[in-house]
Homo-oligomer: A and B are copies of this chain.
Amino acid sequence: MKVGFIGLGNMGSAMARNLIKAGHALMVYNQTKSRAEELRPLGAKVASSPSEAASRAEALITMVTNDDAVEDVIFENGKAIDVLPTGGVHVSMSTISVALSRRLVAAHRERKQHFVAAPVFGRPDAAAAAKLFIAAAGPADQIARCQCLFDAMGQKTFVVGDEAPAANLVKVTANFLITTVIESLGEAFALIRKSGVEPEQFLEVLTGSLFAAPIFRTYGRMIAADNFEPVGFSMVLGMKDNRLVLSAAEDAAVPMPMASLIRDRMLTATAQGMGAADWAAIARISFQEAGL
């Protein structure tokens, strides 16, 4: 399939490589061009602008930092939407707002293009291993059309509805759940450590019993060891995601006290110089508060 791919950060770069491996014809674009050039030896063409990446694509994948970046490449400077061929599909895989997703649905429809929201779950190592989970929403035929792409990047695709914004809501809500797991583990390990119980033993009980899920293993290990390196997902991006869920919840008039608490934790972490740390480092706030 002819794929335009915009956004080659830690996640996007790994995803693009897996698409190339699966035999798709990629034209890639990234703001910092060197990251795009790395893919040329693997067989990708390198576009000099978002619109060049879009202009001959059957599918245009965006995997960029945030709403602003999507707006920039699709509508503003990039104007990719003006050149994506009729009948082409824009597959937005970034974590973006429900509101922007609604805008994209309308804008693509107007131009007789298609839009699928397909945000992903997993950190860079999962992206590299083609083990992402993908939550996709949009017209059923378009999702079917993109299935071969999803299969190249992920281990499983969940279809959560035929209206694209549903996938974005599912994504930001699931990300909220991740942050609650992090925060709850931070508080739990603060108590466990300060009471003199071995953190590793506590973690073993958790992940060996009711809490036997990747989410508890991944974050439990970091928090039990009080070691948040390497950075898989930064606090700055975490705050963005927290804003997305709070914003969706505000639009729907749904109070979410745990999301508010996470917001305060992340602001505290930022104020204390942890903006570039892994978002799991909010557990450190619990440790500090407890005097550990």
Chain A residues with CB under 8 Å of chain B are 98, 121-122, 133, 135, 156, 158-161, 166, 169-170, 173-174, 176-178, 180-181, 183-185, 187-188, 190-192, 194-198, 201-202, 204-206, 208-216, 218, 245, 248-250, 252-261, 263-265, 267-268, 270-273, 286, 289-291
Contacts and interface: CB of A to CB of B under 8 A. Distances in A.
Contact of A197 (B156, B170, B206, B289): B170
Contacts of A258: 180, 183-184, 187, 258, 261
Nearest to A132: B209
B187 A256 contact: yes
Given A213-B216, A272-B289, 8 more contacts: A121-B209, A169-B191, A169-B197, A210-B213, A213-B215, A250-B267, A257-B260, A271-B289
A183 B205 CA distance: 21
Contacts of A201: 158-161, 170
How many copies of the chain does the oligomer comprise? 4
Contacts of A135: 205
B169 A195 contact: yes
B273 A187 contact: no
Nearest to A273: B291
Given A257-B187, A291-B271, A214 B210 contact: yes
A161 B291 CA distance: 23
